[in-house]
Amino acid sequence: MQRRNVLKSAAVLALGVAVSGGVFAQEKPIKVGVTGGPHAQIMEQVKKVAAKDGLNIQLVEFSDYIQPNAALAAGDLDANSYQHLPYLEAQIKDRGYKFTHVAFTVTFPMGVYSKKIKSLDQVKQGARIGVPNDPTNGGRGLLLLQAKGLIKLRADAGLKATPLDIVENPKKIKIVELDAAQLPRSLDDLEAAAINGNYAESAGLSPTRDAIATEGPKGPYANLIAIREADKNKPWVAKLVKAYHSPEIKQYVQTTFKESVITAW
């Protein structure tokens, strides 16, 4: 009888260890990298929605565009949410990352901002205009300046256009390439700057209120969730996408950011 009770107790103990181990595995947080501002704010709401589905998200915030991908490649993150497809594709090509994207998130319209002029018609001869210094966002800024008639690029320049691709520059504008996060703080030293929407928002600038020019509503710059290719079939990935694409998040984005941030699903 005593032996039977001992065996029963041992079985219960083993079951308890297995259950607690399973709970621990489920509660292990998924680390998601974001840049400060709207990406972080939105993911905080995604975290709340995902928790209802048993997914524990831990946010890791970055202040630049380079480190979130480096951290994902190193295994310090499980996913990141901050970049658009042209940037991700350039990073994969240049750095050999084994990444894939699993969902589109939001679009931040790039705008041209200035503390010195109210319209691009007022741009002076030889004015210094800032653009991001990474290939895809720099090209995006140049394409915006071209769309507004300030410059003309080579026909085959594409999304990765650089200042070397400028073939017409009637006002002899000087293109100043700076880190995207630094551009809002550099407006005192520039005539104007093409600034990504998330960094504009972080600096208190609104595309609808403060920009003197903005991109059109259609374009290839929807942001996305990136993960390592090896993780694409893991259950947490589907839960993360489900939470982000929920009605609650769409409503949050529309209510909080108005037309400054546009959902891409």
Q: Which residues pair with 32 in a beta bridge?
A: 59, 79
* pLDDT the model gives residue 192: 98
User: Is the pLDDT score of 6 beyond 60?
Assistant: no
Q: Kindly state the average pLDDT of the residues 175-200.
A: 96
Q: Residues of 221-237 as b/e, b for ≥16 C-beta within 10 angstroms? A: bbbbbbbbeebeeeebb
Three-class DSSP labels, 20-70: HHHHHHHHCCEEEEEECCHHHHHHHHHHHHHHCCCCCEEEEEECCCCHHHH
The confidence band for 144, taking pLDDT boundaries of 50, 70 and 90, is: very high
The confidence band for 216, taking pLDDT boundaries of 50, 70 and 90, is: confident
The confidence band for 58, taking pLDDT boundaries of 50, 70 and 90, is: very high
Domains detected in the chain: 26-108+221-263 (3.40.190.10), 111-214 (3.40.190.10)
The confidence band for 18, taking pLDDT boundaries of 50, 70 and 90, is: very low
Mean pLDDT is highest, among 2-11, 33-42, 252-261, for 33-42
Q: Please provide the DSSP assignment of 67-131 as one string.
A: HHHHHHHHTS-SEEEEEEHHHHHHHHHHH---EEEEEE-EE---EEE-SS-SSGGGPPTT-EEEE
Q: Kindly state the average pLDDT of the residues 187-216.
A: 93
Phi/psi class of residue 217: alpha, beta or left (left: φ > 0; alpha: ψ in -120 to 50)? Answer: alpha
Task: Tell me the percentage of the chain whose pLDDT exceeds 90.
Answer: 79
Q: At 256, is the secondary structure helix, strand, or coil? A: helix
* pLDDT the model gives residue 17: 41
The confidence band for 27, taking pLDDT boundaries of 50, 70 and 90, is: low
98 contact partners, CB below 8 Å, separation of at least 6? 73, 228, 229, 230
Helix (H) or strand (E) holding 194: strand 192-195
Identify whether the C-beta of residue 255 lies closer than 8 Å to the C-beta of residue 117.
no
